Amino acid sequence: MYGNICELLNIQYPIFQGAMAWISNPELVSAVSNGGGLGVLATGHLDGEGCRKAIRELKERTNRPYAVNIMLLSPFAKEIAQVLCEEKVPVITTGAGSTITHLRAFQEMGAKVIPVVPSVAIAKRFAKDGVDAVIAEGTEAGGHVGKTTTMALMPQVVDAVSIPVIAAGGIADGRGMAAATMLGASGFQLGTRFLVAKECTIHENYKQRIIKAKDIDTVTTGNSTGHPVRVIRNKMTRIYEEMEKRNATPEELDTLGRGALRKAVIDGDIDNGSVMSGQIAGLVHKEQTAKEILEELYQEYVAIMKDAANLIR
Ligand code: TUI
C-alpha cells in the first residue's frame, strides 16, 4: 500500500508541486525540484516546440528529478507526447483524460508514468495499463476537477489498485499530509500552496488574492459542459453562472473561458480572469521560497506523525 515514492522517483520529500497551466514554469518547477520535492512542468498552455523549449530551460536550472504533465484535453497532446520521448523526461504525469497516447513509448524510454485520476474506475483502468502510480485528486483541488472529495476518494482508490497512490486536493500543510497518509497515501501533490512560492512568477494580484482567500471563496464553473473548473469567485464566475442559468451553448461558455487563465496569471486581471485555486486557499497565508515551503511541510508532517500514537491510549 504505502510504496516508497521517494525511492521510486529519487526525490527527498514525497511532495509533488501540481502542474498548473501558465504557472508551473521552469522557474517554479526547478525551485521545487532543487528544494527536494518533485517539480512538475505544466504544458497545457504550450504547443510541442514551446514544451521542448520549457524542458530545455528546466534542464539548465536543475539536475534533480522533475516531471512534465500532459493535459490530455490539449489539442497539442500528441506532439507534446513525442517531445517528452525525445527529451527523455524522467517522470510524466497526465491530467484531464483517461487514455494516454504513447504510454508504452514513455515506459520504453525509461519514464515513470503517473496519471491524475478523479475516480476509482479510471484509477483501475490506468493500473491495468501498467502505470507506475496514480494521483487521486479530490474535488477540493483547483482547476479541472472531478466530483468526489479527497477524503472519500483516497481510501477507495487505495483499495482498488496495488500501485502507490499520491493524494491531491485540499492539502496545504503537514496536517493534510498526515491525514492523507492515514487514508493510504504514499505521497502528496500540492498546487495552491505553491502559488505563493517566491519563485512562482504569477501576477502579484493573483498571489494576493490567494493569500486573502477564505474557505468559501471558490466555486466550480463549467458544470454544464462536463468540465468543471474550480476558481475563486469573481465577476467572471458570476457572468458564467448567469449564462449557464439561461442555458448558454458550450461554445458561448467556451468563449468566456478562453484566455481567462492567462488574463489572471499574466495580466493580473483577477476580476475578469480565471483565478484557479483549491478550496484550501484559506489556509495559505504567506509567501515563502519553495525550499522553505517543502521544509516546513515536512517538519510539520513528521511532528504530527511522531505524535499520532499519543492521541490514543
Ligand atoms: O487536469 C487537471 N487540472 C486542470 S487542467 C486545466 S487546463 C483547463 N482549463 C480549462 C478547462 C479545462 C482544463 C486546469 N486544471 N487535473 C487533473 C485531473 N484530471 N482532474 C480531473 C482529471 C480527469 C478527468 C477525467 C482525469 C481523467 C478523466 O477521464 C475521463 C475521461 O473520460 O477521459
CA of residue 57 to ligand 1 center, whole Å: 26
**Contact between residue 111 and residue 84 where contact means Cβ atoms under 8 Å apart:** yes
Is 108 in the same domain as 247? no
Kindly tell me the sign of the dihedral angle through the C-alpha atoms of 86, 106, 39, 169. Answer: positive
**Contact between residue 190 and residue 18 where contact means Cβ atoms under 8 Å apart:** yes
What CATH number does the domain containing 63 carry? 3.20.20.70
CA of residue 263 to ligand 1 center, whole Å: 20
CA of residue 96 to ligand 1 center, whole Å: 3
Amino acid at 262: R
pLDDT of residue 313: 81
Is 156 in the same domain as 78? yes
Is 176 in the same domain as 264? no
Is 93 in the same domain as 176? yes
> Is the CB of residue 44 below 6 angstroms from any atom belonging to ligand 1?
yes
Ligand 1 atom 26, closest CA: 96
Query: Per the structure, how many domains does the chain have?
Result: 2
pLDDT digits (tens, 9 = 90+) for 210-241: 999 999 999 999 988 888 999 999 999 999 99
Is 264 in the same domain as 292? no
CA of residue 207 to ligand 1 center, whole Å: 23
CA of residue 184 to ligand 1 center, whole Å: 23
Taking residues 266-273, what's their average pLDDT? 98
Is 181 in the same domain as 259? no
Phi, psi of 110 (to 5 degrees): 105, 5
The answer to whether residue 207 sits within a structural domain is no
Q: Which residues of 148-157 are buried (b: 16+ CB within 10 A; e: fewer)?
A: bebeebbeeb
The answer to whether residue 305 sits within a structural domain is yes
The answer to whether residue 25 sits within a structural domain is yes
Nearest to 258 by CA among 221, 224, 299: 221
Distance CA 169, CA 149 (A): 8
Is 182 in the same domain as 238? no
> Is the CB of residue 180 below 6 angstroms from any atom belonging to ligand 1?
no
Is 233 in the same domain as 111? no
Taking residues 172-193, what's their average pLDDT? 98
The answer to whether residue 210 sits within a structural domain is no
Q: What percent of the chain has pLDDT over 90?
A: 90
Place of cell 504513447: 102
> Is the CB of residue 163 below 6 angstroms from any atom belonging to ligand 1?
no
In angstroms, the first-to-last Cα distance of the chain is 26
Taking residues 162-174, what's their average pLDDT? 98
Ligand 1 atom 15, closest CA: 143
Is 256 in the same domain as 133? no
Q: Which domain holds residue 162?
A: 2-201+284-310
pLDDT digits (tens, 9 = 90+) for 31-85: 999 999 999 999 999 999 999 999 999 999 999 999 999 999 999 999 999 999 9
pLDDT digits (tens, 9 = 90+) for 116-125: 999 999 999 9
- Residue to mutate (ligand 1; options 46, 125, 144, 274; most atoms within 8 A of CB): 144
Amino acid at 29: V
Distance CA 152, CA 183 (A): 9
CA of residue 205 to ligand 1 center, whole Å: 25
Is 61 in the same domain as 158? yes
Ligand 1 atom 24, closest CA: 96
Nearest to 287 by CA among 179, 173, 204: 204
The answer to whether residue 208 sits within a structural domain is no
The answer to whether residue 240 sits within a structural domain is yes
> Is the CB of residue 115 below 6 angstroms from any atom belonging to ligand 1?
no
The answer to whether residue 206 sits within a structural domain is no
Q: Ligand 1: which atom is nearest the Cα of residue 222?
A: 11
Is 177 in the same domain as 54? yes
Q: State the average pLDDT for the chain.
A: 96
How many other C-beta atoms can be found within 10 angstroms of the C-beta atom of residue 233? 15
2: confidence class by pLDDT, cuts 50, 70, 90: low
pLDDT digits (tens, 9 = 90+) for 171-182: 999 999 999 999
> Is the CB of residue 153 below 6 angstroms from any atom belonging to ligand 1?
no
The answer to whether residue 212 sits within a structural domain is no
pLDDT of residue 252: 85
pLDDT of residue 226: 86
Is 118 in the same domain as 246? no
pLDDT of residue 81: 97
Q: Ligand 1: which atom is nearest the Cα of residue 261?
A: 9
> Is the CB of residue 42 below 6 angstroms from any atom belonging to ligand 1?
no
Predicted confidence (pLDDT) at residue 1 exceeds the cutoff of 60:
no
